[in-house]
Every structure is written in structure tokens, then in C-alpha cells.
Amino acid sequence: MALPTYSTMKHHLLPAATYSRLVPRATYHDAATIDEPTIKPQNRSRSAVNIPASLSNLLHLNLNHHTNPTGTHAGSSNNAMLDVENFNRQTPTYSPTEDISSMYSEIHGAADWSRLLSPLHPWLRREILKYGEFAQATYDAFDSNPFSQYGGSCMYGRHRLFEKLGLLRHGYDVTKYLYAMSHVDLPRWLERSLHAEAWSRDSNWMGYVAVSGDEESRRIGCRDIVVSWRGTVVPAEWLEDIQGKLESIKSNDQSDIRVEHGFRSIYTSKAETTRYNKLSASEQVMGEIKRLVKFYQEKGEKVSITITGHSLGGALALLNAYEAASALPSVPVSVISFGAPRVGNEAFADRLKELGVKVLRMVVKQDVVPKMPGILFNEGMKMVEKVTGTLDWVYTHVGVELGLNVKTSPYLKNCIDFAGFHNLEIYLHLVDGYVSSKSGFRCEAKRDVALINKASGMLREEIGIPPCWHQLANRGLVCNPYGRWTMPNRELEDIPSPYREGYEQLLN
């Protein structure tokens, strides 16, 4: 039975009284700008939960809602009347896509997105959301049921992935699945099946490679090769599993470039005794990227590589970008990441810049994961380095940051929920509503707010969407013809098989 997806869910109908508290009347700016109507943050009751001030100050979480002398939120308006009559509850949850080929270079970060971020250009916003949905697909299709024979794999074969998740409208085709293992003990990262005949004891499905079709390639101005890496969801995993140990990016590398030990292990680990990781994730992805680049360049096409991921997936995206840009210097490489941690030291960041890798990081201010590793020892130590010289063991972020804030959305609870702050659907919701750091949430945001509660409970309760609703009916069990409840057999196309993938690779 297919899970509810972004494309198949109908817009949740709310009583007019509920929307009257959520949707203010649009106010429009000068037509010469690309600013869009916004929703100013509204009054909400203060959370009953408090955390130690020292922790919130250390992490710069900004959890307190600042008020002005009248008691309203800074920037809110007591005069914001609500336009319920003109609010159409039957509108599509995404906008029509325009031909953006004229801005191909800028959209891919040629000028570090300098003219597109403040205010956020609507074309760039839609591309960010597209890549974010590619990253979300790695969660929605992941079989995390430990009682399933295929726990830790993708629930769908690659030819059906986008169809099952409602992503065919983006115009991409999945060409390869990626698998990873780790020689470092990261227990919360690896999902293991408890089934006696488990598909794998060592590996997890970690993402996929896709390529834009002809129509989409014409729209965006190039043949876009996308790599999407799966991440982790719960911030506690980072607190317990990240070792914070920097090591050389290659075993025989004599440079000062260092990256986090655990991330590198996931990206490069392999074992001849495994079924899915005889080649490392690095070797799998680079083999497919090189094959696609050669194929389309020989046809005379312009090719780009866009790598995306959330959380751990964002870290793997940077390692992948470093390797891709080093091996294919003539191909532009960009990274669109969400809630990604720091990965390496300043030498790693400098080398990515030298290679021409463009990185756009979406960061929610209240999310703790982007502050790790290196909560204390990070790029903020520039003043110390003026005295000590460059410190190889200090972590630093890479690229351009687009800062988001949960306080801007009128749909979200005023609460402390670290898992919720890190949730990818929260990121996509905030990107959809973002105009600039000085603006409120835009009225024309189209993503269905029900998606926020797929794996969290961050939506305000009066909206009427239950928390964590995205789950298999009956925990995946079905009643067989004999009246017994069992785990269903997968369709042949959806059963992971290294032999089928190898055969399809030969045909390509």
C-alpha cells in the first residue's frame, strides 16, 4: 500500500475561524521589487518549557520571542486584518515552473547567489525546494522497520521511486542507487533488519543519482546530474555518535586538509565480503557521475552536478562535491544542503573554494546540528588564529548560508523541540515562506503545511493535523487469505538486488 505523498494529499480543509487566526490580508510592495506578500509573526503564548540560559546562549538558539512595549512580537501588527473570504483552500500545492535557462549560471551559484538571496528570488526558491524534495525522498522511501526483511533498504525500485513519491513533475530519472557502510561504530546511523533472512547485515541504502530529462534540461539550461544523500533525523544521534575527530581526507594525503572521521568512514568504507559495498559509496557515486558526464558531453550538452542532502546527507554532499570537482574540473559543481553539520577544517573549505564548488546551506537558527561538530572550536576563532596561526583541528563551515527562523511562521508552535527544529519538512516550509531576513512569512507560500507533521508535531494544534502521521497502516502488516497478519512480500521491482543493478549498469 503506497504511503500518502506530497502530490496525492488533498489540501486539509480548516474552519474559517481557524484560518482567520493564520492568514493575514496580503500587503504588496513596490512592483519594481521581487518582494512578495508576507505574514508577520503573530502573538503566541510563551512556552512553558525553559532550557538553561547558558546552553541557549552557547548554541545561539534564540528561543525567546522578543516583544515590544505593547506586548506584541517585534515586527507584528495589531492591524493585520484577515482575508478569509479570498483564501482559496483548493489551490495547488506548488507553482507552475518557468523557463529559467537565462539565469542558469546564477541559479547554480556562479556569483555565490549574491543577487538572489535578499530578497530571495522566486526562481531560486523553487529550485531550492526541488532539491529539498529530492533529499526528502530519501526519508520517505527508506524502510526503517527493523522487523522487515528489507529494513535499511529503499522501499521502491529506482524506476518507480519518483512515481511512488509524486516527484515525476520535476522531470528527472533515477539512474543509480547508492549504498554505504561504516567501519566506525555509528550505531544510530545504521538501520539493521532483525529478520532472519535480512537483505543485508552491513549496508544501508544511502541515496541515489538522477538526471534531468530533455524537457527539464531545456527549462533549466543544462543537463543536471543530481546526487541526493540520506541523512539522520534526531539531533541526539549527533550528540552521541559524532566523534569530533579530524583526519586527512585521504589516507596518503600529506596536505593540511582534514575532515570528520565518521563522515569520511561512511563515504569511503567497503568490504569484499558484503553484497552491496564491495565498492564504497564514493566509488559508486563517482563511477555513475563520470559515466553520465561522459555520455552527455559526447552529445555536446552542457552538464552540471548538483549534490543535495539533509543533516548527515549534507555532510556526505560536501565530501562528494570535493571529489567530483577534483575529478571533473570542467563541470560546475554545486551543493544545496539543509541542516548540515561542519565537515572539515579551514584548509578543506579553502580547497573547495579553489575547486569552484558552490555551496548554499539552509540553516534554521534553532537547529543544533549545524553548530556541530565544533560547538566551541570553529570558524569563530579567527581572532585566536591571528596569534596562534592556522589551527588544523578547528572546524569551519563552507559556502553561503541562508538563515531561517521558526519564529517567522505563524503555523508553528512556540515550543522547544530539537528534533522538530532539525526536521527537513520544517526547512522546506520555512524556505517556501522566506523573502528576506527582515520580512515575515509570505502569504503566497504553497507547500501544504500538513507535511510539517509527517514526522514531527510542530504544527499548531488548532490546524487539526495529527503529529507524525506519515506511517504505514498496521505497521506494515497485511491480513493474508488465511486470516493471518504477516509482512507482505515486495514486488520484484522493489526487492534490492546487487545483481540486477550490476546487470542494468552493463546495459547502460
Instruction: Cite the active site residues.
Output: 311, 367, 422
Of the candidates 56, 55, 62, 16, the residue with the CA atom closest to the CA atom of residue 41:
62
Mapping DSSP to helix (H, G, I), strand (E, B) and coil, where does residue 120 land?
A: strand
* Dist CA 422 CA 420 (whole Å): 5
For residue 318, give every residue at least 6 positions away whose Cβ sits within 8 Å of its Cβ, in sequence order, or none: 335, 337, 340, 343, 344, 352, 359, 398
| DSSP symbol at 13 | P
Q: Are strands 223-229 and 303-310 parallel, antiparallel or unpaired?
A: parallel
Mapping DSSP to helix (H, G, I), strand (E, B) and coil, where does residue 76 land?
A: coil
Q: Are strands 358-364 and 38-39 parallel, antiparallel or unpaired?
A: unpaired
* Dist CA 255 CA 165 (whole Å): 43
DSSP assignment of 273-338 equals: T-SS-SS-HHHHHHHHHHHHHHHHHTTT--EEEEEEEETHHHHHHHHHHHHHHHH-TTS-EEEEEE
* Dist CA 100 CA 125 (whole Å): 12
| DSSP symbol at 86 | T
